[in-house]
C-alpha cells in the first residue's frame, strides 16, 4: 500500500512539474503600412493561444516609447483558450517612418517575447492657425517673436517671417515704437484678403550700445490703428567681433582673470542690502575693456566701476554689486553678466548665492 501511495505521489509530482503554459502567437510583427496622421490611433491585435497544459498569465507589457500603448487579456488564459495583445500607435505629431517594440512578460517559457510594429505616417496638412500662430486682429503672424540669434557688434542682419491676411478686406501692416537699431517692414505693405506676405527685419548692431541677449517690444498698426496690448518681440545676442584678429593679436590680447566667479553671502536677513565684490586682474598683454555689466534682476544693483575704462596689463580691479534680499525667503541665486574684449572670455557669468532668513510671523 505504501509503495502504491509512493508511486501515485511521484506521478502526481511529475505531472505538476510537466504542467506548463505555452504561448503561441499568430504573428510577432505587424506593418501598418502608410497612413495619414489625421487617421488617428492605429490598433493591431496579436492573437494568443495557450497550447500548454496550465493557465497562461500575461504579467506585463512594456512599450519602447510613449507613442505606443499596449493592452492585453488580463485574466489567465486556460489551456486551449485564446487571448489577445493589442498594440495601439498614436501618430499625432509623429510624421515619418516608425519601428517600435513591445516586451511581453508571461509565466511561460521563454518568459519574455518581443513584438514589433512599424509603418509610415504621412504628415497632415497644417491649418492656417497652425502655420500662423500669432493673431493680431485680421492678421496672423508665424510667431510673435523674431529671433536674430548672434549678431556681431560690427554688422547688420536681416530676418524674415511670414504673415497672412485672414480677413475679407485689405490690411496695411506697420510697426510702431521702433528703436534706432531696428527696422521692420512688410512686403507687400498692404495685404489683400487671404494674401500672404513677409515681415522683413533689419537689425543694426552698430546702433545698439547693449551687449549680450537683448530684446525689444514693438507695437503693431493695422490700417493706421495701433493695436492695444499687443507686442511683437525682437531679440538678438550682441557679441564682440574677433573674426579679423590675427594670431599675433590673439596672443597679445587682454585676459580677464577672476579670483572667483561665485560669491556666497551665506545666511542674511530679509529686506537688507548686501554688498559683493568680484576681484579680477588683466593677465594679458593689452588693455582690458569691460564693455558692460548687468544683473539678471532689479534686486541686484551693479556699480559701474571700471566699465568702459582700459585696464592695463597686470592691473587689478573689481566688479561691485549690491543684492537687496527684499521678500526673498530661503536659498537664492542671482547672476551678473560681464562683457569684455577678452577673445576667450568675452561673456562671463558671475553667480551670487544667499540664504535669506525672513523673520517668523507671530502666531
Any domain includes 78: yes
Under DSSP, the state recorded for 124 is: P
Q: Pull the grid cell for residue 55.
A: 493557465
Cα–Cα distance, 140 to 195 (Å, whole number) = 11
Beta bridge partners of residue 71, listed in sequence order: 86
Q: Which pairing describes strands 29-36 and 112-122: parallel, antiparallel, or unpaired? A: parallel
For residue 355, the SS3 value is strand
39-53 residue pLDDT tens: 999 999 999 999 999
Across the beta sheet with 96-106, the strand order is: 29-36, 112-122, 96-106, 58-63
Residue ranges in the chain modelled with pLDDT below 70: 1-17, 304-309, 361-363
Cα–Cα distance, 70 to 87 (Å, whole number) = 5
Residues 117 and 198 reside in one and the same domain: no
Domain count along the chain: 3
Tell me which residue range forms the domain holding 146.
128-239
Residues 118 and 185 reside in one and the same domain: no
Under DSSP, the state recorded for 253 is: S
Residues 223 and 279 reside in one and the same domain: no
pLDDT computed for residue 306 by the predictor: 62
Residues 77 and 139 reside in one and the same domain: no
Q: Pull the grid cell for residue 200.
A: 522683413
Angstrom CA distances, 343 to 32, 215, 285, stand at: 55, 24, 13
Nearest to 82 by CA among 50, 113, 45: 50
Any domain includes 304: yes
For residue 256, the SS3 value is strand
Under DSSP, the state recorded for 334 is: E
Q: Give the number of other Cβ atoms within 10 Å of residue 275's Cβ.
A: 12
Residues 295 and 218 reside in one and the same domain: no
The CATH code of the domain that includes 253 is: 2.60.40.10
Residues 138 and 204 reside in one and the same domain: yes
Q: Are 152 and 243 in contact (CB under 8 A)?
A: yes
Residues 6+ apart with CB under 8 A from 17: none
Nearest to 292 by CA among 352, 250, 348: 348
For residue 78, the SS3 value is coil
Any domain includes 76: yes
151: buried, middle or exposed (CB in 10 Å: 19+, 13-18, 0-12)?
buried
Q: Pull the grid cell for residue 113.
A: 517575447
Q: Pull the grid cell for residue 310.
A: 582700459
For residue 209, the SS3 value is coil
For residue 305, the SS3 value is coil
pLDDT computed for residue 19 by the predictor: 87
Amino acid at each position: 500500500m505504501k509503495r502504491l501511495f509512493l508511486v501515485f505521489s511521484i506521478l502526481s509530482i511529475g505531472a505538476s512539474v510537466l504542467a506548463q503554459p505555452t504561448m503561441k502567437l499568430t504573428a510577432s510583427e505587424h506593418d501598418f503600412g502608410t497612413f495619414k496622421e489625421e487617421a488617428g490611433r492605429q490598433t493591431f491585435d496579436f492573437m494568443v493561444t495557450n497550447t500548454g497544459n496550465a493557465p497562461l498569465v500575461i504579467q506585463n507589457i512594456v512599450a519602447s516609447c510613449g507613442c505606443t500603448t499596449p493592452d492585453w487579456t488580463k485574466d489567465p488564459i486556460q489551456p486551449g483558450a485564446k487571448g489577445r495583445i493589442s498594440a495601439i500607435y498614436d501618430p499625432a505629431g509623429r510624421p515619418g517612418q516608425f519601428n517600435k517594440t513591445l516586451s511581453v512578460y508571461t509565466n511561460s517559457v521563454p518568459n519574455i517575447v518581443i513584438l514589433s510594429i512599424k509603418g509610415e505616417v504621412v504628415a497632415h496638412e497644417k491649418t492656417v492657425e497652425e502655420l500662423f500662430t500669432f493673431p493680431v486682429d485680421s492678421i496672423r503672424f508665424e510667431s510673435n517673436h523674431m529671433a536674430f540669434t548672434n549678431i556681431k557688434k560690427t554688422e547688420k542682419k536681416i530676418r524674415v517671417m511670414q504673415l497672412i491676411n485672414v480677413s475679407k478686406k485689405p490690411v496695411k501692416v506697420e510697426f510702431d515704437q521702433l528703436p534706432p537699431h531696428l527696422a521692420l517692414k512688410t512686403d507687400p505693405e498692404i495685404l489683400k484678403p487671404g494674401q500672404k506676405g513677409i515681415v522683413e527685419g533689419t537689425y543694426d548692431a552698430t546702433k545698439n550700445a547693449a551687449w549680450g541677449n537683448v530684446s525689444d517690444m514693438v507695437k503693431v498698426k493695422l490700417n493706421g490703428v495701433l493695436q492695444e496690448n499687443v507686442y511683437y518681440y525682437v531679440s538678438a545676442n550682441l557679441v564682440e567681433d574677433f573674426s579679423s584678429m590675427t594670431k599675433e593679436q590673439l596672443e597679445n590680447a587682454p585676459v580677464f582673470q577672476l579670483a572667483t566667479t561665485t560669491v556666497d553671502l551665506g545666511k542674511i536677513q530679509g529686506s537688507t542690502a548686501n554688498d559683493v565684490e568680484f576681484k579680477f586682474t588683466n593677465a594679458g598683454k593689452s588693455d582690458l575693456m569691460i564693455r558692460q555689466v548687468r544683473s539678471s534682476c532689479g534686486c541686484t544693483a551693479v556699480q559701474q566701476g571700471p566699465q568702459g575704462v582700459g585696464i592695463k596689463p597686470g592691473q587689478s580691479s573689481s566688479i561691485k554689486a549690491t543684492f537687496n534680499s527684499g521678500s526673498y525667503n530661503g536659498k537664492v541665486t542671482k547672476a551678473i553678466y560681464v562683457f569684455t574684449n577678452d577673445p576667450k572670455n568675452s561673456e562671463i557669468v558671475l553667480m551670487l548665492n544667499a540664504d535669506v532668513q525672513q523673520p517668523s510671523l507671530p502666531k
